[in-house]
Structure formats: structure tokens, C-alpha cells
């Protein structure tokens, strides 16, 4: 996945609708302390499905909503949208149907817009290309592309030492993530849980059958 654009509105210090184009090559964000550089990275992480308010430096998820200043009232909602581009074949099948092949029969890159919106008292919802998605599926979309809210591709302040000193298990996790198989692990775990539930149901059905015979 290639990141193309980030839009923020009401997210942390970004009270006004703001957008950042992410151009090819290296992008640097510079500014004085406290101007909101880390908030930008947190917005990306939040849109990718971060579920821990703590890792976004908040006590609860609603803390990502602009909380007001001496001169501006607080907001009731926050929205972040990430515009991505996927090479043909790399996007989930559900998104291929809507892809435009440019009229020449050859599939072009697919644009994927992931939006997350939170309202006070109502929690947050995700939309992908305008349709509502489960948080889990948004997380898997990024995990399959070897990135995500918990990805080691996002190195926050103080995390560098932790990566350098990682134990062999954590290091293996890094390699698995680079290979893009983290999503498969999550799916296997879910499948195992379903299997166990089905086995328990079968045993229960056997018991019931036994009492009827």
C-alpha cells in the first residue's frame, strides 16, 4: 500500500479540516515542540484501527477529539481519512470490483480511502471507500500489507531502543511482519477459536442425543 493523503478534522490539535499530501520519496515534518507532529502519526495509527487510547497518549478513546483551548470550544467529533493506493492484485477482492481499469482492459492501481470517525458518546466507525467496515477488517487490511497501528514500521519516541534490544521472539515477530504474514496468524487464531466453539457444540449435541436415545 502507498500512502497518498491524510485528512484530519477535529483530531487532537487539528481542529480545522487539514490535509497533507504524501508525495513519493521521503516526507519530513518539522515544527517546534508541541505543534502536533506526533499527533499526525497518531492520526495515521488511529485510522489504521488502533484500539488502545493509552498508546495514543489519552485516557480514553474520546480524548482524540479536539478538547478546546482558551479561545475555542471543544468539538463533538473527530475524523481522519487515509487515502491509499494499492497495485492491482494487492487490494482485497471486495475493493477490486469498484476499480477502474482505465478502459484499456488493464487493471490500474486501486485507490482505497479508509475513514474513521468518532462522536462523543457514540464510539467510532470505519468506512472503506464509503462503505462501513468492521475494525477487525481494517486492521487486517493493513496487517496483510505488512503495516498497521501496532506495526514496527511506526517507531515512536523511545521505541528504538526497545527494538534494538528485542528478544528472539519479538525479533521473529518483526520478520513475520516484514513478510506480511501477521494477518494470517490473526486469522488462524480466530479459526482456532471457532473450531473450539464448534467442538464444544458437538459435544453438547452428543449429550443431548444420548439423553434422547
Q: Give me the phi and psi of 202, to 5 degrees please.
A: -60, -45
First to last CA, the chain: 58
Is 76 labeled as ligand-binding? no
- Report whether 36 belongs to an annotated binding site: yes
Among 1, 43, 48, 66, interactor with ligand ATP by CB under 6 A:
66
Q: Does 36 bind ligand ATP (CB under 6 A)?
A: yes
- What mask of x and - would describe binding to ligand ATP in positions 81 to 110, judged by CB under 6 A? ------------------------------
**Annotated binding-site residue? 32:** yes
| 101 in Cβ contact with 45 (< 8 Å) | no
C-alpha dihedral, 31 to 32 to 34 to 38, nearest 10°: 30
**119 in contact with ligand ATP (CB under 6 A):** no
Q: Is 76 helix (H, G, I), strand (E, B) or coil?
A: coil
Of 33 and 71, CB closest to ligand ATP: 33
For ligand ATP, the binding residue among 16, 25, 33, 164 (CB under 6 A) is 33
Residue placing its CB nearer to ligand ATP in the complex, 78 or 143: 78
Cα-flanking dihedrals φ and ψ of residue 172, to 5°?
Answer: -60, -40
Cell numbers given for 56: 495514543
- DSSP symbols for 55-75: GGT-SSGGGGB----SSS---
**CB of 129 within 8 A of CB of 115?**
no
Choice between 38 and 152, CB closer to ligand ATP: 38
By CB under 6 A, residue 182 contacts ligand ATP: no
Site for ligand ATP in 12-31 (CB under 6 A): 12-13, 31
Q: Looking at beta carbons only, is 13 or 129 nearer to ligand ATP?
A: 13
Q: Which residues are annotated as a binding site?
A: 32-39
Amino acid at each position: 500500500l502507498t500512502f497518498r493523503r491524510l485528512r484530519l478534522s477535529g483530531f487532537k490539535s487539528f481542529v480545522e479540516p487539514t490535509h497533507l499530501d504524501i508525495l513519493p520519496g521521503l516526507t519530513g515534518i518539522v515544527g517546534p515542540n508541541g505543534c502536533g507532529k506526533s499527533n499526525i502519526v497518531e492520526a495515521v495509527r488511529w485510522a489504521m484501527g488502533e484500539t488502545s487510547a493509552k498508546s495514543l497518549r489519552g485516557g480514553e478513546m474520546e480524548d482524540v477529539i479536539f478538547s478546546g483551548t482558551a479561545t475555542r470550544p471543544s468539538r463533538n467529533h473527530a475524523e481522519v481519512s487515509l487515502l491509499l493506493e494499492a497495485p492491482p492484485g494487492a487490494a482485497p477482492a471486495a475493493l477490486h470490483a469498484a476499480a477502474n481499469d482505465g478502459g484499456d482492459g488493464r487493471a490500474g492501481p486501486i485507490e482505497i480511502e479508509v475513514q474513521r470517525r468518532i462522536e462523543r458518546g457514540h464510539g467510532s466507525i470505519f468506512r472503506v471507500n464509503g462503505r462501513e467496515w468492521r475494525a477487525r477488517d481494517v486492521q487486517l487490511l493493513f496487517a496483510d500489507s505488512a503495516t498497521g497501528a501496532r506495526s514496527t514500521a511506526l517507531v515512536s519516541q523511545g521505541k528504538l531502543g526497545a527494538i534494538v534490544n528485542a528478544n528472539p521472539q519479538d525479533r521473529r515477530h518483526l520478520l513475520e511482519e516484514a513478510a506480511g504474514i501477521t494477518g494470517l496468524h490473526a486469522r488462524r487464531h480466530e479459526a482456532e477459536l471457532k473450531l473450539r466453539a464448534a467442538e464444544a457444540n458437538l459435544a453438547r449435541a452428543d449429550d443431548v442425543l444420548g439423553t434422547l436415545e
